[in-house]
Amino acid sequence: MKIVKNRVRIVISLYLCLTSISCKKYLNKISDDSLTVPSSLDDYQNLIDADKMYIRNSPSIQDISSDDILIDETQLNSLTTIPRNTYLWSSDIFDGQTNFDWNACYKGIYYCNLVLEGIQKYELSNGITSTAASIKGAALYYRGFFHFNLAQVFAKSFSNITTSSDLGLPYKTNSIVDEKVSRESLPQFYTHLIDDIKESVKLLPKNAQTQYRNRPSKHAAYSILARIYLSMSDYYNAELYADSSLQISNALLDYNVVNGSSVLPFGLPYISEVICLSSGPYYILRPPVDTVLYNSYDSLDLRKNIFFSINAVNGNHEFKANYSGGFYPFTGPAIDEVNLILAECLARRGEFDRALSIMNKLLLLRYKAGAYVAHTRANTPDILAFILKERRKELLFRGLRWSDLKRFNLEGGSFAKTLTRTVAGEIYSLPPNDNKYIFPIPPDEIKINPMPQNPR
């Protein structure tokens, strides 16, 4: 019998084959007995643990469109087509090219559905076991997570003004690769992904094992639900799930023990703040940070040294501090993010003392020992603005700023923002709620599976 790793490779190869133009020709060359279909719990667990499930599985292209990054003309000209067009908010981002962000998410969704179908068959023959339930929970978590990540880039934000005419994306619930799936309404789409993650809570263990930081847990599911509801401006539920997450663990890292001069200050093993490992692709190995944002870090703020290095050639300050442990941008839930969600939700309903208490606990561990001055109502005139400023500074290049901008723009008020770039003397701007906040669906996908394109 072939070993599990070979089975996983065969499944992955089969998926790639089915999504390629020469699929039928390739399949005709494979004899039936050379294919091994996953059938045991070990097989399904190995599919969940496959690196394609948690490494480079989340969109990160949106970070290049955000106001966190500032690319000079020389570096911009050195970029490939997609990141260059993304930075300039071009109408045609992909220029006929395939987009990795879209494909990686739907590939992960395919694995999830393969596992869920397999677990269903397994339980019909063997009954329900705790191991099977945990694997099923992980697949449901990731399926909801991948769909949500896609929506942050390729769909409108969900809010209380969302209607059934607003389009979501195809929500895949089976492993049929060549099935034509239409775009759901945005309310339907969010209902499905929230249902998946809520169902996973019932099945997952409370905490992930330290050696398997990529495996979801109740802790991770609560955290992602908090992120989802925050993106929807549903602050009641965001607070509820953030609090549930932190009841399980609220172990923040003291940055005083981090080696800020290291090339990878948060290298392996993964730090304790990581609740569930996930990362996106990097389009720029070390993205240059916006100058105004960099200057907003106090000289006593350890993040200024830990997060950034200076490019010796052009003098740019470049981000280097991914919680993924390497160069890929971290996109999973972490304890610092959940604290910031809870603080924001509390501030929005006037619980300022509790919100400040959370912020002071976090920032005490971000400043040099003995240097932090606590924020109070007396020295913090706009507490919500303070929290949102620190949220941006803490969660840099995790794929979250774009979602925040869309949320703030929909809500209107002082946090809505027009983004601007100046390149070669030409000014580019992106006003609030512009169609370009929604990325186009890759044209090659529409050729395979016809669906309405996002207007640009």
Q: Is the pLDDT of residue 187 over 80?
A: yes
* Of 341, 430, 333, 443, nearest in space to 62 by CA: 430
Q: Is the pLDDT of residue 35 over 60?
A: no
Least confidently predicted of 39-53, 183-197, 410-424: 39-53
- pLDDT of 407: 98
CA distances to 50, 142, 296, 309 from 112, rounded to whole Å, are: 11, 7, 41, 38
3-class state of residue 225 by DSSP: helix
| pLDDT for residue 162 | 87
| Rounded distance between C-alpha atoms, residue 264 and residue 28, angstroms | 46
Confidence of residue 395 (pLDDT cuts 50, 70, 90): very high
6 or 229, which is more confident: 229
pLDDT in the model for residue 25: 32
**Binning pLDDT at 50, 70 and 90, where does residue 38 land?**
confident
The pLDDT mean for the chain works out to: 92
Q: Using 50, 70 and 90 to split pLDDT, how confident is the model at 37?
A: confident
Q: What is the share, in percent, of the chain residues with pLDDT greater than 70?
A: 92
pLDDT confidence of residue 21: 35
Residue 36's pLDDT is 60
Q: Are 61 and 82 in contact (CB under 8 A)?
A: yes
Residue 413 in this model has a pLDDT that exceeds 80: yes
Q: pLDDT of 214-273, one tens digit each? A: 999 999 999 999 999 999 999 999 999 999 999 999 999 999 999 999 999 998 778 889
Task: Give the model's pLDDT for residue 1.
Answer: 32
Average pLDDT over residues 368-374: 98
Q: Given a cut of 80, is residue 301 above it in pLDDT?
A: yes
Q: What is the pLDDT of residues 57-80, one digit of tens each?
A: 999 999 999 999 999 999 999 999
Report which secondary-structure segment, H or E, holds 295.
helix 291-295
The whole-number pLDDT of residue 5 equals: 42
Residue 8's H or E segment, with its range, is helix 4-18
* Domains of the chain, earliest start first: 41-91+99-168+182-448 (1.25.40.390)
Q: Is the pLDDT of residue 13 over 50?
A: no
User: Can you spell out the DSSP letters for 44-74?
Assistant: HHHHHHSGGGTSS-S--THHHHSTTB---HH
Q: What's the N-to-C CA distance of the chain in angstroms? A: 52
Paired tokens of 375 = 């924020």
Q: What is the mean pLDDT of residues 340-353?
A: 99
**Prediction pTM value:** 0.93
pLDDT at res. 217 = 98
DSSP string for residues in 268-282? SSPPTTBSS--B---
Task: Assess contact for 190 and 168: CB atoms under 8 A.
Answer: yes
Measure the CA–CA gap between 420 and 292, rounded to whole angstroms.
13
- Is residue 29's pLDDT more than 90? no
